[in-house]
Every structure is written in C-alpha cells, then in structure tokens.
Structure 1
Amino acid sequence: MAHTPVNHPLRPLYRALSFVAGAYLVVFGVIGLIQTSGESFTGASDVRVLGQGTNVLWSILAVVLGAIVLATAAIGRNLDVEANKYLGWGILVVGSYELATSRTDANFFGFTIATVVVTYLVGLMLITAGLYLKVAPQSEVGAPRQVREGRTA
C-alpha cells in the first residue's frame, strides 16, 4: 500500500504495542487453559479468565495467535507488518461472529460481551501496529504521493 507510512518515527512504540497484544493473548490463553481443564472443548461455560468468558478452544487459539504475534514482533523485517494486519482483521472477524452469536448455541468459543470488547481492542491494536511498522531502505522513503509516483530522490 503506497499510503502506508514507511520508517515511521514511532515504530518502536508500535512494535511494543504489538508485543503487548501478543503477550496478552498468550497470558490469557495459558490461564484459560489452566482454568478450563476438564471443561467442554467448545461452547459457553461459566469459566471466567481475566473477567472474560472462555473455553478450551478459545484458550488454545489465543495461545497460538499470541505466539505468532510475539514471534513476528521479535523477527520484524516487515513480517510483523503482514502478520499484524492479517491476524488483526481475523481477530475482528472472530469477535464480530461471537458478538452476533453471543446468546445462542452457536457461541462455540464461549465468548461473553467482555470478551468481544477485548477481542476488538486487541484486533485494532494489531491492525494499528501493522500500519506503522513498515521498514524500507532510505532510498525508498518519501512522502506517500512521491512513492506512488516513483519520484523518490
């Protein structure tokens, strides 16, 4: 995307934001796995972790997503940009699905409204971080319009 900032001066802040989102997902997932051991794999349960509803499936998914975010944040090199954007949008889709099915039998992640809100926040944090983490050689840096038109000098 030509209008995405390149070598943004606040890149370290956004990288830290990405790391915090990934760490939160891992911590939430691990605590969720501990709390939900012996519970059903899917479906709503009475288990609350950090004030949110969860089950084994969502806990496992949170650990996996958080590990991917942490790994890509550690590697960097624009891998974190793509991972944050796609995982952020994916998390928003999951949150929207769970918001739509929160009081039905189709709520197989065991979400509560608090979980939906936190899921939206984590997804938006990842998308925002993904928009500002792009790195490029100094020769390709310029105003977005200059980059689109190939007038970098």
Structure 2
Amino acid sequence: MHTPVNHPAQPIYRAIGGLTGLYLVVFGVLGFFASSGEPLLGRGDTQILGQGTNLGFSVFSIVVGGIVLAGTAIGRNLDVLINQWSAYLIMVVSLAGLAFIRTEANIFNLSVATVIVIMVASLVLLLAGMYGKVGTDDEHEAWKKARLVL
C-alpha cells in the first residue's frame, strides 16, 4: 500500500529502468571483451569506462542487465519486481565490493569508482521499481486514500 500505483511519471521511470539495464549490458559486454583471456575472477588491471572489472563481473553485469531489459520489455508489473530485486542484489554486491576492496576477497576486481557507479545504478533501479507500478483505478484510489490517512 505504500508504493504509488499509476504514478503520472510511470512511463519515465520504466524507461529509466530500461536504460539502467542497457548500461549494465553495455558495460558488461565491453568488460567481457577487454578481460577475455584473463581468469574468470582475476585481479588484473582491466578498466572499462574508468571502472575496474574482470570477466566474472562483466558476465554478472550482462546477466543482471539482460534480466532488467527483459523485465522492462515484458512490463505487467514484472518489471517492478525485477527492478527492485535486481537493485537489492547489486547493492549487496557493491557493498561487499567496498568492504573487501583491498583484500584478496575482492573477487570482482571492483574499484571505488565501480562501487559508486553500481550503487547509483542500484538506487536508480530501486526508484524505478518503486514508482513504476501499474494497477486498476480502484487500486489507485485505495493508494490515494491510504496515503492521506495519518
């Protein structure tokens, strides 16, 4: 009941979610080609768009971005669910990357710039997931009435 239904800017939020998924796919593909030939979870000096990456993180970005793009294409509130859960997953990865950035546990070879960019991407996906919900007029009225009750 707390997330808006039929928000006036819902198409914009859906497009923003799709663009975020597209960014993840493009970053992943560029990283995949730049780090091909290295170990899957190698700790090399590969950088794409100013962000550290390796083959494993590139594949992760391609998969998550592809899922977000598929959800955006399907719609029907599946994009809302996918955007929210993808945002949570990316947030966990970025926070773990930040916690282990200077240790051997940094399996995705993340840099501080990478952590910042994927954290922003996760927040954008979360925002798109929260404001992209579509429903009936009755659900919209119920949300408006619940919102006005203090």
Q: Partner of 1:151 in structure 2?
A: none
Aligned-partner Cα distance in 1 for 2:141–2:112: 43
Give 2:92's aligned amino acid.
Answer: V
SS at match of 1:141: helix
Supply the distance in 2 between the matched residues of 1:47 and 1:69 (Cα, whole angstroms).
25
Q: Distance in 2 between matches of 1:112 and 1:44?
A: 11
**8 A Cα contact 1:98 1:111, kept in partner:** yes
CA distance in 2, matches of 1:45, 1:89: 27
8 Å contact kept, 2:29–2:58: yes
What TM-score results when the alignment is normalised by the length of structure 1?
0.92
Q: Distance in 1 between matches of 2:141 and 2:46?
A: 51
Note the alpha carbon deviations across 1:73-128, whole angstroms, 9 max, x for none: 01110000111001101100100000000000000001000000001011000000
Residues 95-110 of structure 1: pairs in structure 2 closer than 5 A: 95-110=94-109
Amino acid at match of 2:122: G
The alignment's TM-score, normalised by the length of structure 2, stands at 0.94
Aligned to 2:76: 77
Deviation at 1:44, TM superposition (A): 2.0
For the residues of structure 2 that align with 1:46 and 1:109, how far apart are their CA atoms?
A: 12
- Which ranges of 4 or more aligned residues in structure 1 deviate by more than 4 Å? none
TM-aligned CA deviation for residue 12 of structure 1: 1.0
Following TM superposition, by how much is the alpha carbon of 1:43 offset from its aligned partner in structure 2, in angstroms? 3.4
Q: Distance in 2 between matches of 1:112 and 1:140?
A: 44
**Alignment-derived partner of residue 118 in structure 1:** 117
Alignment match, 1:28: 27
- Corresponding residue pairs, total: 147
CA RMSD after TM alignment: 1.3
Determine what percentage of the aligned residue pairs are the same residue.
Answer: 48
> Structure 2 unaligned runs (5+)?
none
One-letter amino acid matched to 1:16? A
Paired AA for residue 63 in structure 1 = I
